[in-house]
Amino acid sequence: MSWYNIGTLNDLVLNSGICAQVNNQQVAVFYIPDDEQSVFAISNFDPIGKANVLARGIVGSLQENLVVASPLYKQHFCLKTGQCLEAETIRVPVYQTKVEQDQVFISCQPVLAAS
């Protein structure tokens, strides 16, 4: 698997998202230090609102899932699976993440594709 370095943990916004370009795709990257994984990455494209906005969504938890609420129509996307909690047939791509010596890496290809 190939990886792309998007910067350091200090470049991320605590309990919020940023947008990074990885392999010519917009990826929403979320830093949630209270979670064991801590850094999550999903496609920035909201398939319901048809816009690249998920990095600007509000992070929270719903039905025991860590989610981001789209700023457009407020659908919730699970940060671990990309699944839309309001529409079981909709999922956004999920990218693997890793942190090494404070550097944040995103997989160049999604590990879970959209449905």
Domain spans of the chain, in order of start:
3-107
Give the pLDDT score at 93.
98
Each residue of 58-98: pLDDT tens digit? Answer: 999 999 999 999 999 999 999 999 999 999 999 999 999 99
Q: Which long-range contacts does 17-20 make (Cβ < 8 Å, 24+ apart)?
A: 17/54, 17/55, 17/56, 17/57, 17/59, 17/68, 18/55, 19/44, 19/52, 19/55, 20/106
Q: Under a CB-based contact definition with an 8 Å cutoff, are residues 44 and 34 in contact? A: no
- pTM of the entire structure? 0.94
Q: Assign domain 3-107 to its CATH superfamily.
A: Rieske [2Fe-2S] iron-sulphur domain (2.102.10.10)
